[in-house]
Structure 1
């Protein structure tokens, strides 16, 4: 499968480069700069990402690029451009004034990279260093009013460097520039589609799994549902799915999702384990301790159920590409990955091989594949939901009574979003039960009851998120309904924090 290789130097925009390439129906992979794969005929071109570092720093990423330059088309973005100029004898100096934000190309020469790009096209700059002099065999192909070297090409090579970021939407014709590189210069065919992915994945799963049995835990979410359906299409009833009710799901979710899975023809077992989870969580208030207790209990329940199935050889998981990238980041394995991530510990305990049919896809691509294989809309469009469920939306200790209160609050909020046609415009929403009681008045009586926070965000992939600007009238109606219908709640607040600096979940 033809692909573009993206070398990651630590830029916050690296995943965005990959997303833009994928939008061109071209497959790409991100690799850390210090692990450059050997070139194969399938690799049609290389993009060097930006970086928070300066090429002048002694600790800055400085890999040997000689195996790439002149051998294959290369596009350096910001730091990637500076690195190529620096390594070949050019000068990179601190900018007199740090250039960050919108700029306009003052001019650009005739170049395959700028085919169809307007003369004064708006671009997005984000750099503290500037290329002040290029090597003699570099040709300048674009500049701005303040940046002499906005873009260059190396003589006799399909090697290009640009000082700006074409991957961000503020570079208005950035997608045209990327298409010029990926399609025209690298010659990619643009045949990597969700339909092609689904077809090739099912075929490869048939070859990989044969007549082996696979066991998989389902969560009701998009990733595990799409992964399970692809595996099911490959091996049929040799896939055994387990859906565990940990007592921390949304109201009526266990019954509704189990019914949806059965309609899909999946071989699924539903397990009511609420008591076991509540017992494991008894008295715990620390978020990480709760996560570990939930993860440990899930492994115990899942392992016990899986052992009822004879001769299982594989564990299916709904791992997606951001999970993979995070685990091989340029900074090493992420220290921020929380416990209960893809039920860590199961493969080691069960001594099973792993099959992850979605580990090359971003979340929006998973949904596209799901549409191709007819996953029901109620699963496909479901908001992301944390693995520990309501266990990390109840701040403090967990009890069955608190879970019921939060389930009722959450149900009113989520159903309200659906009723007012707001659900699909929100990336994720939910309610948080706060460890706070406040004074209120109901009728002629004074109350001292619980406060809840509502949280709704807009996002593309959860890496960054903005709070959803829901209509005031909607929030007022939902607040009144919660206070009137949910016993024990007398105050509702709305979280208007964005990520960063806040996170989407409170714990």
Structure 2
């Protein structure tokens, strides 16, 4: 088992970001809810306690038995984690006189302590807390302060237990990565040998042992995750992997033919299934977003199940589940109620009776792309923007018809190809067009028109958890708008979505 850092999640919005920063140091880590702690085995080299939206002073606030870790492995409490340690060990946590949120400067830095090695005086950090540690127990050293927070960081005497009241994982903490490196590498002693090559080598070896001569069926979507999962499983079991690529009639223009050709060029054993009409029939008259999602999910399972039964003796279902899907499905307060129904984390219908193999379920999206590059997968697949499972069905507001799909495919094609031609595609996390359920008055030539409105959406993001609208050049947007209106029959108005996530979401449905 590879050495790892254990991150206990108390519900902070930044917990995944801590994990990403640790992974960037080529050190494996896992996030577990504070109330579902795994056994502390020899491969766990250190523990990080996350922040939380809760206050340690609240009745029923998240709690953990510190004796599981103290003196056994190095321990770092971040914000709530630090306050929890201080309070449980005899210190005092009180409401902040001035709620410290945002940028702050370190006015005291004792760099003799390993955690603060190479952290400079007046280094900028990011605060986000309404409580503060007023007093520390006698065996605590205060090793850093800000002008308004005396206990910005502490260490417990004679043990590698630290607490900080700021967030080193966010980019606003300018030396946060140095601090995390100090903890993970210098204090915990991790060797930084968790790389794409090592992941691929160990994963293929594990897949060979797990799958043996069994057959696996996997549904390809054309996206990054399922493609990388397929190549990993293919390298382990070859032609015993059977891939199915379903055309649900809701893909981008020419995507079914183009992606199917690229998969066959990769040597995958893949079958294309044209099921457009079945999906259109199931969607007929449905307008509510969740009803559309469920109809698409049901038809996909029916089609996939029928195709799977054409293959004899299939034992396993391969899935491209990635780590954020796993984390979101087990929140600190139990399974999340907010997961959209097209996420399928082991969500198989009982009648399929297949075991699940998910070779990517410990990786973040950027790590999946890195593994894909190491495997030699085409950048045309790896560089693709995320695309929703229900496809264009949730970018057509209201009911779905083949005519509406055809209009949106044309609009989307002009927008996406325009981004690529202008050299803007790789600066955007996700882009697409939305067909609105309204008509707009317009004039074309000497004639009055009453036609559809489309909204263009482009966002920047790191992992899709938060996103900002992309500030595309006005000239580019003007050119794209003109091209859409001139070339796509049925559209006479184009608008641009300038909403960020939160409060909006990336998709409209």
Determine the C-alpha separation between the residues in 2 that align with 1:151 and 1:278. 59
Residue 107 of structure 1 and its aligned partner are, at CA, apart by 1.4
Residue 147 of structure 1 and its aligned partner are, at CA, apart by 1.0
Residue 342 of structure 1 and its aligned partner are, at CA, apart by 2.6
Determine the C-alpha separation between the residues in 1 that align with 2:349 and 2:369. 26
Determine the C-alpha separation between the residues in 2 that align with 1:187 and 1:200. 22
Residue 349 of structure 1 and its aligned partner are, at CA, apart by 2.6
Residue 117 of structure 1 and its aligned partner are, at CA, apart by 1.0
1:275-305 CA deviation, whole Å, 9 max, x = no partner? 1000000111010000000000000000000
Contact 2:346 2:356 (8 Å CA) reproduced? no
Aligned to 2:109: 108
Aligned to 1:328: 330
Residue 263 of structure 1 and its aligned partner are, at CA, apart by 0.5
Instruction: State the secondary structure of the residue aligned to 1:354.
Output: strand
Q: Within 5 A, what are the aligned runs for 1:37-436?
A: 37-109=38-110, 110-342=112-344, 345-346=347-348, 348-436=350-438
Distance change in 2, residues 1:106/1:343 (3 Å): closer
Contact 2:430 2:458 (8 Å CA) reproduced? yes
Contact 1:299 1:343 (8 Å CA) reproduced? no
Determine the C-alpha separation between the residues in 1 that align with 2:325 and 2:487. 39
1:205-234 CA deviation, whole Å, 9 max, x = no partner? 111101000000000000000000000000
Aligned to 1:492: 494
Residue 120 of structure 1 and its aligned partner are, at CA, apart by 2.0
Residue 343 of structure 1 and its aligned partner are, at CA, apart by 7.9
Residue 341 of structure 1 and its aligned partner are, at CA, apart by 1.5
Instruction: State the secondary structure of the residue aligned to 1:75.
Output: strand
Determine the C-alpha separation between the residues in 2 that align with 1:382 and 1:142. 44
Residue 344 of structure 1 and its aligned partner are, at CA, apart by 6.4
1:441-462 CA deviation, whole Å, 9 max, x = no partner? 0000000000000000000110
- Gaps (5+ residues) in structure 2? none
Distance change in 2, residues 1:344/1:433 (3 Å): farther
Contact 2:75 2:161 (8 Å CA) reproduced? yes
Contact 2:436 2:455 (8 Å CA) reproduced? yes
Residue 379 of structure 1 and its aligned partner are, at CA, apart by 0.4
Contact 2:317 2:354 (8 Å CA) reproduced? yes
1:307-356 CA deviation, whole Å, 9 max, x = no partner? 00000000000000000001111021111111121386435231000000
Residue 9 of structure 1 and its aligned partner are, at CA, apart by 0.6
1:60-88 CA deviation, whole Å, 9 max, x = no partner? 10121111111110000011000001001
Determine the C-alpha separation between the residues in 2 that align with 1:343 and 1:182. 30
Residue 146 of structure 1 and its aligned partner are, at CA, apart by 1.3
Determine the C-alpha separation between the residues in 2 that align with 1:439 and 1:451. 10
Determine the C-alpha separation between the residues in 1 that align with 2:492 and 2:24. 47
Instruction: State the secondary structure of the residue aligned to 2:67.
Output: coil
1:426-470 CA deviation, whole Å, 9 max, x = no partner? 000000110000100000000000000000000011000000100
Contact 1:318 1:342 (8 Å CA) reproduced? no
Determine the C-alpha separation between the residues in 1 that align with 2:232 and 2:453. 43
Determine the C-alpha separation between the residues in 1 that align with 2:378 and 2:490. 35
RMSD of equivalent CA atoms: 0.9
- Gaps (5+ residues) in structure 1? none
Distance change in 2, residues 1:392/1:502 (3 Å): same
Which is further off, 335-344 or 101-110?
Answer: 335-344
Q: Runs ≥4 in structure 1, deviation > 4 angstroms?
A: none
> What count of residue pairs does the alignment treat as equivalent?
507
Contact 2:469 2:498 (8 Å CA) reproduced? yes
Contact 1:150 1:164 (8 Å CA) reproduced? yes
Aligned to 2:475: 473
Determine the C-alpha separation between the residues in 2 that align with 1:361 and 1:317. 13
Contact 2:3 2:44 (8 Å CA) reproduced? yes
